[in-house]
Structure 1
Amino acid sequence: MPTSHLYELQQVDVALVSALAHRQNLNDGTPQRATAALVADRLQAVQQEAAAVQSRLRSLDLEIQSVQARRAKLEADMYSGRIGNPKELAAMHEDVSALGRHKAHLEDEVLGLLEQAEDLDRQQREAQAELTAVEADLARTLDEYRRAVEATDQEIAALTARRQHVAAQVDEGLIRRYDRLREQKGGVAVVAVRSGVCDGCHVAIPHRLVSRLERDPDLIAACDGCGRILVILP
């Protein structure tokens, strides 16, 4: 059994590990979902605040109308000539003044709320625009993710089938040794000898061993430096 089969198995396994890691690291839209959720929460909070402001404005409008009506009635009574008691007229005059001050206070609050409503409207537009952009980005990311997953899964399936084909040509005992070495040596169990040097640890391989490996492709030999299985490439 040529050691080249082991080397090919090693190359397939390296590619398979890389493909599996690539699939695991694909962006499935999680960051965009998190951002969209934050923006949506912010938009909802602004909308709720804006609704509360509008509700308060409606209440103030009704209250101002009520105050205005009460003040108008008092003034009408004051100037109707029906009331001649000076103290009563003075009290009514004070009530009219108090209602005027209250109305002015309510109108000041309205002005402040109108400014707040304008600012909240701006915040809503900005948050909605941001949410639309994030959702569009998420849609693009999910589309890219689906295509990348499909392509990567096809690659993994092809590599898995290739591994099974190559592994079937290797002795089971040697496969077990190979798997143990992979676990011990960071995933690399088989290395090439290039210019008399081990590709794994860069230790020089004895010339006699190199010659034997070149003559006998079935020879299984390990590097004295790192213990990996050595192979001479064509």
Structure 2
Amino acid sequence: MSIELLYRLQELEIKEGEVRQLIKTLPQFKELKLLKEKFSLTQKKLEEKRAFHQDLSRRLKKTEDRIGVMEVKLKELDKLLYAGSINNPKELESLEHQMKALKDQISQISDEIIKLMEEKEQIDRELTQIEKEMQVQYQDFNKLKLQYNRKKINLEQDLAGIVEDQEKVSALIDEKWMSWYREKRDKFSGTPVGRIMENHACSGCRTALPVIIVKEARANPGYVFCEKCGRMLFASSI
């Protein structure tokens, strides 16, 4: 009977919509999105730390090069001092003054180097920690993605079965009834056929139906409609 097939098609379409919605609203999808955002933030933090680390390394190298030049200069002055080639007291005093100034600068820059090295060590520890965090986040993401893919595949398989059943049912319905169904489907939000429930109510609007209407629906399937909502009434076999 065409109305029974129409109702079956309607139920399959409702089921299709439910499964499609389930695929869209899988809890893992939202969690994956949050994990991805968290991973992106951690990755950005790592990139910023690496950039700072590189800048710090350049500053440290530059400072070490500066102190290296000064130490070479100090050795040269020291050799000159003890070579005995300078006899003029003023020149000797000037040399000693230069050496003291260099030693002071070397001491000051050495302190800077120590601070830079300590800062670099701290950044090294932070980089290691961030990299560990990213590794954990990456593992969590892949684990959750695997769960999501499994559930999605199962739902997609269910969906494929439902669509296949729809095609089989549709092929059995007369074109006249299919045209009516397509025309009314949107008007009734996908449910143009109302099943008469056990309590003699229309499944579409839940309105109680007179006994005579129920009997007519059984006697003339496809030609009796709910007086309240206008849906075609389908009375299943007793």
Shorter-normalised TM-score: what interval? 0.7 to 0.9
Distance 1:112 1:175 in 2: 82
> Unaligned regions of 5+ residues in structure 2, if any?
none
Quick one: distance in 2 between partners of 1:89 and 1:229? 117
Contact 2:204–2:229 (CA<8 Å) still a contact in 1? yes
Structure 1's unaligned 5+ residue stretches are none
> For 1:198, what is the secondary structure of its paired residue?
coil
Change (3 A) 1:87 1:225: farther
Other-structure match for 1:67? 70
Residue 56 of structure 1: which of 47, 56, 59 is its match?
59
Cα separation, partners in 2 of 1:19 and 1:59, compared to 1, 3 Å: same
For residues 85 and 185 of structure 1, the distance between their equivalents in structure 2, rounded to whole angstroms, comes to 113
For residues 189 and 83 of structure 1, the distance between their equivalents in structure 2, rounded to whole angstroms, comes to 114
Deviates more, 1:86-95 or 1:141-150: 141-150
Q: Does 1:207 align with 2:211?
A: yes
Structure-2 separation of matches of 1:95 and 1:226: 104
Distance 2:190 2:115 in 1: 69
Moved more, 30-39 or 70-79: 30-39
Is 1:162 the counterpart of 2:191? The answer is no
For the 8 Å contact 2:216–2:224, the answer to whether it is kept is: no
For residues 53-76 of structure 1, the C-alpha deviation after alignment (integer angstroms, 9 at most, x for no partner) is 223323322322321232233234
- CA gap 1:123/1:187 in 2 versus in 1, 3 angstroms: farther
| C-alpha contact 2:194 2:204 (8 A) present in aligned 1 | yes
| Conservation of the 8 A alpha-carbon contact between 2:2 and 2:177 | no
The residue that corresponds to 2:12 in the other structure is: 12
AA in 2 matched with 1:176: S
Q: Tell me, in whole angstroms, the C-alpha distance in 1 between the residues paired with 2:13 and 2:146.
A: 29
Among all aligned residue pairs of Structure 1 and Structure 2, give the percentage whose two residues are the same amino acid: 23
Deviations 1:211-232 (A, max 9, x none): 212344x233222222222222
Residue range with higher mean Cα deviation, 52-61 or 23-32: 23-32
8 Å CA contact 1:3–1:220 kept in 2: the answer is no
Q: What's the counterpart of residue 23 of structure 2?
A: 23
Deviation per CA, 1:148-194: give whole Å up to 9, x if none: 33322221221111111222232222222222332122222222223
The superposition leaves residues 66-117 of structure 1 with CA deviations (integer Å, 9 ceiling, x where unpaired) of 2123223323433443322222222222212221222122112212212221
TM-score (ref. length: structure 1): 0.85
TM-score (norm 2): 0.84
Instruction: Indicate the SS of the match to 2:196.
Output: strand
1:16 Cα deviation after fit: 0.9
Aligned CA-pair RMSD: 2.4
Deviations for 1:117-155, whole angstroms, at most 9, x for unmatched residues? 122112211221122122212322332343233322221
Q: How far apart, CA to CA, are the structure 1 residues paired with 2:54 and 2:222? A: 82
The residue type paired with residue 203 of structure 2 is D
Distance 1:42 1:130 in 2: 11
Give, as a single letter, the amino acid of the residue that structure 2 aligns with 1:17: G
Q: Alignment partner of 2:191: what SS?
A: coil
User: Is 1:92 paired with 2:91?
Assistant: no
Structure 2 CA distance for aligned equivalents of residues 224 and 187 of structure 1: 19
Distance 1:85 1:220, change over 3 A: farther
Residue 62 of structure 1 aligns to which amino acid in structure 2?
Answer: D
User: What secondary structure does 2:233 align onto?
Assistant: strand
Shift of 1:34: 4.3
Question: What displacement does 1:14 show?
Answer: 0.6
State the AA in 2 paired with 1:6: L
1:178 to 159, 181, 203: 181
Q: Distance in 1 between matches of 2:157 and 2:230?
A: 34
CA distance in structure 1 between the partners assigned to 2:230 and 2:100 by the alignment: 101
